[in-house]
């Protein structure tokens, strides 16, 4: 019997320790030639083709950074059991197609990743509302206090009945929940739109559930925290931006294609929206000629590393991914399955069937 093949199409473990662990357990480890850590690299987007013996594929989950896992990928390896990502995101995988075929998709919701995004979202919001960049530049150019440098107060003030800003969260998963918790001491008015979240979750985090139209019309800050799917791609376009207050700001730390970049440029350049902060873009890195980049302080751009903090990184997800691989090779269901609907079909095909 041949060894089960685990293909790391975007390897992360620079030490190689987890690969040796898998080899010792009886698996064959496949690494791309010249493989190295993915940080800072740009990958050409293409459908992954596996060897027909591959049973598990492992990589990273941003479709703008790497390989797509599609029906073509699944066709190339008929006994594929799982796709595992080192990232909390998994938009590089056609999850619906994987579910139809009884293939598990697993991600790595390490706290440094999603918690870091929440903290970074707070930082980006405050940079815009408190005019951090503008004040710094103003003083360095010889200026001092003036009315144009006034910031925006976030929380409520009881003495004058200022209600605080209305902050709307589109998507209410781990990141948005943490962001809401960070906002709690500020006494801002937080609402969220997520048709898939349970009612109890909103209550637990003191967040008002609303539909998307209400959120866009009422919010002073709109922050995106949803996965990139067929449903959310282009979800924030010209019509949605037109619903927002001209004084509002938009923050996207989710995925670039959720926002129509051309529509956002039009709204900002014509003062139909006050400002935007983007950690993600439709094409990464962006072209130097991208119109949004020329909007000065109306736009705050980050290089898709809102979760990038010293001592963190994708390496912290390595143990979780290896745990998932070992479970699947033993014919067991791993943790952090993002398509639980696939589990019955997966059990029928692979449940209890050990490969190591």
Per residue in 325-345, pLDDT (tens digit) is 999 999 999 999 999 999 999
Q: Rounded to an integer, what distance in angstroms lies between the CA atom of residue 204 and that of residue 336?
A: 22
Higher pLDDT residue, 232 or 41?
232
At residue 312 the predicted structure's pLDDT band, cuts being 50, 70 and 90, is confident
Task: Give the helix/strand (H/E) hosting 7.
Answer: strand 5-8
Give the best-scoring range by mean pLDDT among 28-37, 222-231, 333-342: 333-342
Q: What is the pLDDT of residues 119-137, one digit of tens each?
A: 999 999 999 999 999 999 9
DSSP designation for 78: T
Token output for 164: 């605080």
Which two tokens mark 151? 């910031």
pLDDT averaged over every residue in the chain: 92
pLDDT value at 41 more than 60: no
Give the model confidence (pLDDT) of 155-172 as tens digits: 988 788 899 999 999 999
Cis link prior to 285 (omega < 30° from 0)?
Answer: yes
Cα 128-130-134 angle, rounded to 5 deg: 75
Instruction: Decide: pTM greater than 0.85.
Output: no
Residues in the chain: 356
State residue 32's pLDDT score.
Answer: 85
Q: Check pLDDT > 90 for residue 294.
A: yes
pLDDT band at 1; cut points 50, 70, 90: low
Q: Is residue 320 classed as helix, strand or coil in its secondary structure?
A: helix
Residue 205 is predicted with a pLDDT of 97
Distance CA 347, CA 300 (A): 47
The CB density around residue 232, as the number of other CB atoms within 10 Å, is 19
How many Å is the maximal CA-CA distance in the chain? 77
Query: DSSP secondary-structure letter at 190?
Result: E
Q: What would the two tokens of residue 233 be?
A: 């791609």
What the chain holds in terms of domains, given with CATH numbers, is: 5-107+312-350 (3.40.50.720), 114-301 (3.40.50.720)
Residue 167 phi/psi, 5° resolution?
-115, 120
pLDDT of residue 44: 47
Supply the pLDDT for residue 276.
98
Is the model more confident about 60 or about 97?
A: 97
Tracing tokens 């890195």 back to the chain, one arrives at 285
* Cα–Cα distances in angstroms (integers) from residue 267 to residues 207, 222, 232, 243, in the given order: 28, 14, 20, 11
Positions marked catalytic: 255, 284, 304
**pLDDT reported for residue 40:** 40
Rg (alpha carbons) of the chain, rounded to whole number: 22
């Amino acid at each position: 019997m041949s060894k089960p093949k685990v293909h790391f199409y975007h390897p992360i473990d620079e030490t190689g320790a987890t690969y040796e662990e898998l080899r010792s357990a009886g698996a064959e480890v496949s690494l791309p030639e010249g493989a190295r850590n993915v940080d800072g690299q740009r990958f050409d987007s293409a459908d992954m083709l596996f060897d027909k013996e591959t049973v598990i594929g492992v990589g990273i989950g941003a479709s703008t950074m790497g390989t797509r896992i599609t029906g073509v990928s699944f066709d190339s390896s008929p006994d594929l059991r799982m796709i595992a990502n080192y990232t909390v995101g998994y938009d590089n995988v056609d999850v619906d197609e994987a579910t139809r075929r009884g293939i598990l998709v697993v991600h790595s919701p390490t706290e440094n990743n999603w918690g870091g995004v929440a903290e970074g979202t707070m930082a980006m919001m405050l940079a815009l509302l408190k005019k951090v960049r503008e004040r710094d530049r103003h003083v360095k150019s010889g200026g001092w206090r003036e009315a144009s440098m006034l910031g925006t107060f976030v929380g409520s003030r009881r003495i004058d009945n200022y209600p605080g800003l209305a902050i709307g969260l589109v998507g209410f998963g781990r990141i948005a929940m943490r962001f809401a918790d960070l906002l709690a001491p500020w006494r801002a008015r937080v609402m969220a739109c997520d048709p898939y979240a349970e009612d109890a979750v909103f209550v637990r985090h003191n967040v008002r559930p609303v539909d998307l139209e209400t959120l866009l019309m009422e919010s002073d800050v709109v922050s995106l925290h949803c996965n990139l799917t067929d449903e959310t791609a282009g979800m924030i376009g010209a019509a949605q931006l037109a619903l927002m207050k001209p004084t509002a700001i938009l923050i996207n730390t989710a995925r670039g294609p959720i926002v129509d970049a051309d529509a956002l440029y039009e709204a900002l350049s014509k003062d139909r929206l006050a400002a935007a902060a983007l950690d993600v873009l439709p094409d990464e890195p962006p072209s130097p000629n991208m119109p949004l980049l020329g909007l000065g302080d109306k736009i705050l751009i980050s290089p898709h590393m809102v979760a990038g903090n010293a001592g963190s990184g994708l390496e912290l997800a390595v143990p979780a991914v290896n745990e998932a691989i070992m479970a699947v090779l033993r014919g067991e269901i791993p943790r952090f399955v993002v398509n639980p609907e696939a589990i019955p079909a997966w059990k029928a095909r692979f449940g209890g069937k050990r490969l190591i």
